[in-house]
């Protein structure tokens, strides 16, 4: 199964955009509502970096197909 360069570029672009969007969108909530400390916030961003990019890119692929 061959994966095209176009697909990989789009996947990476979607992954980066989803990470930036969700981190920016949820940061005020995490800081002002949840009241995370600095260490908790960094741990949350690290968790975001592991989960959001692949899930966001997969969701984008599915949304484009349907």
Contact 24, 54 (CB under 8 A): no
Q: What residues make up the domain containing 28?
A: 15-65
Q: Is residue 37 part of a domain?
A: yes
> How many domains does the structure of the chain reveal?
1
- Measured CA to CA in angstroms, residue 62 lies from 15, 53, 54, 56 at distances of 13, 14, 12, 10
| Residues of the chain falling short of pLDDT 50 | none
Q: What is the pLDDT of residue 1?
A: 63
What is the model's pLDDT at position 49? 96
Establish if 32 belongs to a structural domain: yes
């Amino acid at each position: 199964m061959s994966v095209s360069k176009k697909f990989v570029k789009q996947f990476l672009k979607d992954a980066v955009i989803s990470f930036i969007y969700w981190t920016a969108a949820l940061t005020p909530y995490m800081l002002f509502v949840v009241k995370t400390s600095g260490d908790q916030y960094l741990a949350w961003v690290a968790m975001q970096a592991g989960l959001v990019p692949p899930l966001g890119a997969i969701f984008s692929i599915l949304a484009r197909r349907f």
